[in-house]
Structure 1
Amino acid sequence: MGTITDSNIIEVDFGADPRAKYIVLEGAVRAAIDRGDLPPGTRLPPVRDLAWKIGVTPGTVARAYSRLTEAGVLTAEVGRGTYVAEPSAPAPIYAEFQAPLEVDAVAHGTGGDNWAVNMLSPHLPSVGQGALIRRLMGEIAQDPPSGLMHYPHFAGERPAREAAAAFLAHPMLGPVAPDDITLSHGGQQAIALVLQTVLRGRRPAVLLEELAYPGFRRMAEVLRADVIDVAIDDQGVVPEALLAAARGADAQILCVSPDVQNPTCTEMPLARREALVAAARSADIQILEDDCYRMGEATLPSLRSLAPERVWHVSSIAKTITPALRLGFALAPPGRQLSLRRAAEYNSFGLATPISDLAARLLIHPDLPGLMDELRATVGRYIADAREILDGHALTARDDVSFLWLQLPRGWRASSFCRAAEEIGVKLRAAEEYASREANAPHAVRFAVNTGVTPESWRAALTRLRGLLDHPPEGLGV
C-alpha cells in the first residue's frame, strides 16, 4: 500500500499481481481516479517521492506516469509537475460521420468553398464501422483466438471462412461453403492468386475488356503473360470479339467485371452473360469474375452461378466496409480449391492471424448490415449531388457504386480535361488509364466519390467541373 498525498490513497499490491510493476501502478492510479480519490487537478507526487513511498524504482513510476499522460489521464506541465487531467466527453460512435474530415482536400484559390478534392479513388464514409472495428480489435488483442506466435494455416482460418461464407451468401452467387473460400490480403491479391493458379505455359494470354481495371493488366504483366484486349459495347464484352481474340493465342482466362464494369459503371445484362459463358465454353477459357465494386445486393445471376466449372470469383470489403483491412475472398471452381489455396500459402502462408480473427467477428457482427446500409445511403447522397449538378451531361452513375463515368462533350479530350480540372482543384482519371497504350480510348473520365470531404466541398468541386464542361477555355489544344 502507498500514499499519494496526505488525503488521497492509492492501493498498490505488487506481490499479488504477476504483471510488470509499472502496469500495476498505472492500473492503481486509474482506479484511484475512478473512485474519486484523485479528482481532476490533483497534483501527483514527484517521481522520486512516490517511488520511495511505494518501494519501487523511479523508472517504474516514470513509465507509469508517461503511459497515463499519453492516454490523456494525466497532464504533465514543465516545471510544475504532473496532474490528474480533466475528463473529456466520450466521442459518440458516429462522431467520425457527424464531423467528416477533409481527406485529400486542401485550400484552393480564394473563397470558403474552394477546396482541391481528390476523386481518383473512392473514399468511404465512416458511419460507425471504424468504431466497431476498433472495439473488435481491442477484444481480440486481449485474447487472440489464433494466438500470436505461429504461422497462419488453413485450419486456423476456419472461423473466418465460415464468417466469409455467411457474408457472401446470396442466391445470385450460388452455393458457397467455407472450404470454397480462400482468404486474401485484399481483392488485388485475390486476382493475383487466381492468375497464378490458372496461367500455364511459356506464353499464356490474359483477355481483358478494352477498358478495364488497370490492376488486371499490371498483374498479367508481372506474371509475364500476354494481354489481349476484347471489344466491349454498352452491354459489356462482345462474345464474338472474345472468340476472335482467343484465336491464334494461348488464351487461358478472361478477366471481367459483369456487375459493375470499371470504369464505365455499367451492368452486363443476363442475355449477354449467358452468351459470354457460351463463348468461353466454346473457346475453353476460364473466367475471372471481379465483384469488388458493387455496394448493394446483386440483382442478376453471377457468372459463377451460370458456369461454375470455369468461373473464379473474387471479392473484397474495400468498397462495402473499409479498404484498410485488406480483406478479400477468392472462390475457385469445383476441384480447383486446393490449387488456389496452395497459391495463397506459397505467397504469404495465408491471412495474418489477427486479421483472420477480426474477420471471423466482423463479417457476422449483428451491427454490420445496418452500418453498410448507412454507408450506401451516404454515398448515395453524394451521387445524387453529382447527378443534380452535372445534369444535362453524359453521366453514368449508380446508387450502389462509388465511382461515376462522364463522357465529355465535343471539344474536350480526356487528358486535357483532367489537366484543366486539376488546375481548378479536382483530380480525375482519364479513360486512357483503363486502356492499353495502343487503344483509342474514348473522350471520358472516371471520378470517385470522396466522402472524406464535406458535402459542401464535394458540391463546390462538382460545380467547378460543371463550369469546365459548359465553358471550355478558348484556344484549347485538342
Structure 2
Amino acid sequence: MDTIWAPEVDLAVKPKYRAVVLAIRKGIASGELAAGNKLPPVRELGWKLEMTPGTVARAYTVLTEEGVLTAEVGRGTFVTARKGTPPAIYLEMEEDVIAHQTGGDNFEVSLFSPHLPNGGQSKLIRTLLAQVANDPPSGVMHYPSRRGAQPAREAMLHWLRDTQLGPLTEADIVLSHGGQNAIMLIFQTILKGRRPVIFVEELCYPGFRRVASALRADVVPVAMDEDGVCPLALAAAAQRYPDGQMICTSPEVHSPTCGFTPLARRRQIVEVARQFDLQIVEDDCYRIGAAQAPGYRQLAPERGWYISSLSKSITPALRLGCAIGPRAQTGALHRAAEHGYFGLATPMSDLAAALLLHPEIDAITERTKAGIGEYVKVAVNALGGYDLRWRPDVPFVWLNLPEGWRASAFCRAAETRGVRVRASEEFAARNAQTPHAVRMAINAGVSLQSFEAAMLRLRELLDNPTEEIGV
C-alpha cells in the first residue's frame, strides 16, 4: 500500500541523510510504517523535507543495503516484509560504513576508485557474518594458525580455479589483508640488500611505489606499449641497474590503461627475467572471470609471484586477498605473514571459507560483472567519440585527452563540473613524462542516471574546450 507518511526529521543530526535514516527507522519501530508500506518518491519526500532528492535517495540506499527497505524497479521503495515481529531498535550504522553509500540523482560524482554494483554480495555477507558470529568454526579465544586457516585457503584455491598458475595447492596460498598487503608480503620476501631496485611499468598501480618506499627500495619505470612492458626496455633497465630484483606488472587487466599482455609478450618478458635473474610479480586484482592467458607463475614457476584480492570483484570492505610465490619460496612467504600479523583474524578466515565456497557466489559475481558492463556502456556511449580505452568487465576506463588538454587542467575543469577523475600523473613516477590522459573508475554507488549525467558533463567539456586547456 502507498503511504503519505512524512517523517519528523531531527535537523540537528548531521549529515542530513542520516537524519532521514533515523526518522525512517523510528517510523518502522513505532509501527507508523508497516511491512509492505511504500515510501514516498524521492523527489516528493525531498520537497516536503526541504532537502535535495539526492539526500533522500542516499538515505533510502543506506536502508536498502541494510535490508530495512526494498527497492523494486519501476514500483518504488517499500518497507521490507519480515518474518515475525521486527525488533524495536534499529542500530545506527557507523559513518565510515555508510560514507560512500550514495544513490539517486547526485550532481557530484567521484570516479577516483571503483564502487562495485551490488549483485547480492551485501546481503550474503551480512548473513554469513551473523552465522560466523553465532558459531565461529575457528573459535575466538586463540591466535590464528596456519592449520586453522586451511579451510579459508582451500576456499581461495577454489576461487582461483579459472586462473592459470601452474601446480597449486592450498598450502601454496598465503592469505592477506587485501592486495596491498599481499604486495608488501612479496616485497618483504624477495628484496635483499641495503638499496634494492624494483622495475615497474611506466604507468602502474601506485601501490607498488608506496610499498617500495616503505621498504627503502628504488623504483625504476620501464617503457611500455599497448601490449605491456617492452622486453628490450626491460633488458636495458636491468643492465643499467644491476641491483634490480623484480619486475612488477599487471598482464590481465592493466591499471590504468585497460591493457592486456598477450602470451607471446609474456614469454619474452620471462626470457629477459631469466637472463637478468629478475622475479616477476603479477598483480591480478582487477580481473573478473577466467584468465585469458597463463600467468607468470605457470610460465616461469621458479620466479613467478601472484597477487589477487576480492576488492574489485566482490567488495573492498573485507580486505581479503592472497599472495602466491614459487614453490621453493612458499615457506618464506608464509613466514613473512606470520611474523607480520600472525595470520587473518580467525572470524575473517571463517567468513572467507564460507563466502568463497557459497553456492550463490558465482552468480553474484556474474551479476556484479553485468552491472559493471552497464556503467561501462554508459561511459562508452557518452565518450566513445574520443580516444577511450575500455573493457566491458573492467571497472574503469582510460581517456587519452584531445590535443591541447593537459591532464591536470582537465581534472580541475571536471571537478568544477562535479566530476572527480584521476590524472595519468598519479600512476607514474614523480619526474616521469606522462601522457595527457585520465582514468575514470566506475562508481555504481550512484544511480546509472547520475553516472550518465556526469559522463555527459565530461563530453560537453571535451566538445567545448575552454581557455583552461593547455594551462
User: If the length of structure 1 is used for normalisation, what is the TM-score?
Assistant: 0.79
What residue number does 1:122 align with? 114
Q: Structure 2: which 5+ residue stretches go unaligned?
A: 1-23, 38-63, 78-97
Q: Distance in 1 between matches of 2:291 and 2:216?
A: 34
Q: CA deviation at 1:103?
A: 4.4
> SS state of the match for residue 148, structure 2?
helix
1:175 maps to 167
1:58 aligns with none
Alpha-carbon distance in structure 2 between the residues aligned to 1:116 and 1:105: 11
The equivalent residue for 1:404 is 397
CA 1:226/1:384 → structure 2, altered by over 3 Å: closer, same or farther? same
Structure 1 pair 138–253 and aligned structure 2 pair: CA distance change class (3 A): same
Q: Distance in 1 between matches of 2:229 and 2:222?
A: 7
Classify 1:337/1:87 alpha carbon distance in 2 versus 1 (closer, same or farther; 3 Å).
same
1:376 corresponds to: 369
1:311 is matched with 304
* One-letter code aligned to 1:218: R
Question: Per the alignment, in what secondary structure is the counterpart of residue 200 of structure 2?
Answer: strand
Give the letter aligned to residue 210 of structure 1: E
Cα 1:244/1:355, change in 2 over 3 Å:
same
Given that residues 230 and 241 in structure 1 are in contact (C-alpha distance below 8 angstroms), is that contact kept between their aligned partners in structure 2?
yes
Contact 1:105–1:118 (Cα < 8 Å) also in 2: no
Once the two structures are TM-superposed, the CA of residue 475 in structure 1 deviates from its matched residue by: 5.8
Aligned pair 1:459/2:406, yes or no? no
In structure 2, the CA distance between the partners of 1:417 and 1:84, relative to structure 1 (3 Å rule), is closer
Among the aligned pairs, what percent are the same residue?
Answer: 52
Within the candidate set 288, 300, 313, 1:320 is matched to 313
Contact kept, 8 Å, 1:231 with 1:241, in 2: the verdict is yes
SS in 1 for 2:194: coil
Match of 1:62 in 2: none
Could you tell me how far apart the structure 1 residues matched to 2:72 and 2:442 are?
15
Deviations 1:101-121 (A, max 9, x none): 994769xxxxx9661100000
AA of the residue aligned to 2:294 = P
Q: What residue in structure 2 maps to residue 157 of structure 1?
A: 149
Which residue in the other structure is 1:67 paired with? none
Q: CA deviation at 1:270?
A: 1.0
**Structure 1 residue aligned with 2:58:** none
Q: Which residue of 2 aligns with 1:213?
A: 205
Residue of structure 2 equivalent to 1:413: 406
Taking the aligned partners of 2:454 and 2:255, their CA distance within structure 1 comes to 23
Judged with a 3 Å threshold, the aligned counterparts in structure 2 of structure 1 residues 166 and 96 are, in CA distance, closer, same or farther, namely: farther
8 A Cα contact 1:169 1:175, kept in partner: no
Instruction: Tell me how far apart the structure 2 counterparts of residues 468 and 319 of structure 1 sit (CA, whole Å).
Output: 29
Task: After TM superposition, list the pairs within 5 Å mapping 1:24-423 onto structure 2.
Answer: 88-89=35-36, 95=70, 103=100, 115-170=107-162, 172-247=164-239, 248-423=241-416
Code of the residue aligned with 1:153 in structure 2: it is S
Q: Distance in 2 between matches of 1:208 and 1:308?
A: 20
Deviations 1:416-445 (A, max 9, x none): 000000000000000000111111000000
1:338 maps to amino acid: G
CA 1:376 to 1:84, structure 2 compared with 1: closer, same or farther past 3 Å? closer
Flag structure 1 segments of 5+ consecutive residues without an equivalent: 1-69, 76-82, 107-111
- CA–CA distance in 2 between the matches of 1:447 and 1:193? 29
Deviation of 1:73 after TM superposition, in Å, equals 11
Shift of 1:85: 7.8
Secondary structure, aligned partner of 1:253? strand
Change (3 A) 1:338 1:97: farther
Which amino acid in 1 is paired with 2:184?
Answer: A
Quote how far apart the aligned CAs of 1:282 are: 0.6
1:206 match: secondary structure: strand
- Distance of 2:462 and 2:25 partners within structure 1: 50
- Partners in 1 of 2:70 and 2:279 — Cα distance? 46
Letter of the structure 1 residue corresponding to residue 142 of structure 2: H
C-alpha separation in 2, matches of 1:367 and 1:97: 21
The corresponding residue for 1:472 is 465
Amino acid at match of 1:426: V
- What are the Cα deviations for residues 376-423 of structure 1, in whole angstroms up to 9, with x where unaligned? 001101001111111210000001110110000011000000000000
TM-score (norm 2): 0.80
Contact 1:208 1:229 in 2 (8 A): yes
Q: Kindly state the Cα deviation for residue 127 of structure 1 after the two structures are TM-superposed.
A: 2.0
3-state secondary structure, aligned to 2:108: strand
- The aligned length equals 397
- 2:162–2:289 contact (8 Å) kept in structure 1: no
Q: CA RMSD in A?
A: 2.5
Query: Distance in 2 between the 1:225 and 1:429 partners?
Result: 25
Larger mean CA deviation between 165-174 and 229-238 belongs to 165-174
Write out per-residue CA displacement over residues 9-36 of structure 1, whole angstroms, 9 at most, x where no aligned residue.
xxxxxxxxxxxxxxxxxxxxxxxxxxxx
The letter for the 1-side match of 2:467 is E
Letter in 1 for 2:113: S
Task: Give the 3-state SS of the residue equivalent to 1:183 in structure 2.
Answer: strand
Kept after mapping to 2: 8 A contact 1:97/1:126: no
